[in-house]
Amino acid sequence: MLQWQRGRVRLMQTNGVNKRFAHCMDMLAKSPLFAGVSRENLPRVLVLMRARCHSFAKGEVLQGFGEPFRYVGILMSGEVEGSFDSERFDRINVNRFTAGQMYGAAFACARVPESPIELVALRSTEVVLLDVGVLGTGGQPDALEAVLLRNLLGIVSTQSVFLNRKVRILGQHSLRDRIVVYLGGLAADVDGWVTVPLSQTALAQFIGGNRSAVSREMGRMVDEGVLERDGNRMRLAGPLERRPRRRLL
């Protein structure tokens, strides 16, 4: 009798999830976190991970500095920026997230008690929050949990590589070297041109400078013949192009 009641409760929970997250299912099914999880099992996973859907207005804080980091978020719509303030109170952009992308995997897995970054909605945003701390806590994980844990490990690893690159950029002493390292990390075409996916302001924040200083330095690089530029397409040239590239890891 008790087993039947538990099964009925799980069925009711799953049906409730299907209704609450009906508009999110297509986006969630495409998330790397749920790779290998059938559409049929997705509601069960959302129940397991205590999924919640929240909407945030432009400028609203999703995760504040110093607050416990408990959940990963998958964006259903909108855009979110993760950043922190330097010792000189300059805003340093860590990353931006758009629809379909996930943030906070490493911090949530580590159950960081005080968040080192702030997450802010850049426009009206909808996010599904998931508690990754429940995975594998009941002893031997079942097959579904094993898939989720494997996917989560891959996501954390990818984000760690990204953060390694970010640290390397910010570790450069000069603004020019930060620009060079940033451009050197982008995928180039056969002719050596890269496409910068950020606006001038966002690029300055990403490499830890201000917009005017970055604009001036890039102008000098163009004048000196070490940088070619065509809008957001750029190519390192001259002595900088011949420098051996260091491995990120």
- Which tokens belong to 4? 């039947």
- The answer to whether the CB of 110 falls within 8 A of the CB of 72 is no
Q: What is the per-residue pLDDT across 57-81, written as a single tens digit (0 to 9) for each?
A: 999 999 998 999 999 999 999 999 9
Confidence band of 16 (pLDDT split at 50, 70, 90): low
- Average pLDDT, integer, range 177-185: 92
- Do 151 and 122 share a domain, yes or no? yes
Residue showing tokens 């031997």: 140
Residue showing tokens 């640290």: 167
- The answer to whether the CB of 79 falls within 8 A of the CB of 62 is no
Under DSSP, is residue 71 helix (H, G, I), strand (E, B) or coil? coil
When mean pLDDT is compared across 15-19, 69-73, 112-116, 243-247, the lowest value belongs to 243-247
CATH number of the CATH domain containing 236 = 1.10.10.10
CA–CA separation, 99 and 142 (whole Å):
30
Q: Cα 119 from chain centroid?
A: 11
Q: How confident is the model at residue 93, as a pLDDT?
A: 78
227-230 β-sheet, strand order? 194-195, 233-236, 227-230
193 is in which domain, residue-wise?
171-242
- In terms of Cβ atoms closer than 10 Å to its own Cβ (0-12, 13-18, 19+), residue 214 is buried
HSE, side-chain direction, 13 A CA sphere, residue 64: 4
**pLDDT surpasses 90 at 101:** yes
Q: How confident is the model at residue 47, as a pLDDT?
A: 92
- Average pLDDT, integer, range 126-153: 88
Q: How confident is the model at residue 3, as a pLDDT?
A: 38
Residue 39 forms part of a structural domain: yes
CA–CA separation, 48 and 44 (whole Å):
6
- Do 129 and 51 share a domain, yes or no? yes
CA–CA separation, 14 and 69 (whole Å):
26
- Do 60 and 104 share a domain, yes or no? yes
Please state whether the predicted TM-score (pTM) of the whole model is above 0.75: no
pLDDT more than 70, % of the chain = 84
**pLDDT surpasses 70 at 14:** no
- Do 88 and 182 share a domain, yes or no? no
Q: How confident is the model at residue 196, as a pLDDT?
A: 94
CATH number of the CATH domain containing 33 = 2.60.120.10
- The answer to whether the CB of 147 falls within 8 A of the CB of 153 is no
Under DSSP, is residue 7 helix (H, G, I), strand (E, B) or coil? helix
- Do 86 and 7 share a domain, yes or no? yes
- Do 159 and 186 share a domain, yes or no? no
Mean pLDDT, the chain, integer: 85
- The answer to whether the CB of 131 falls within 8 A of the CB of 71 is yes
- The answer to whether the CB of 247 falls within 8 A of the CB of 240 is no
Q: What is the per-residue pLDDT across 192-225, written as a single tens digit (0 to 9) for each?
A: 999 998 888 889 888 888 899 999 999 999 999 9
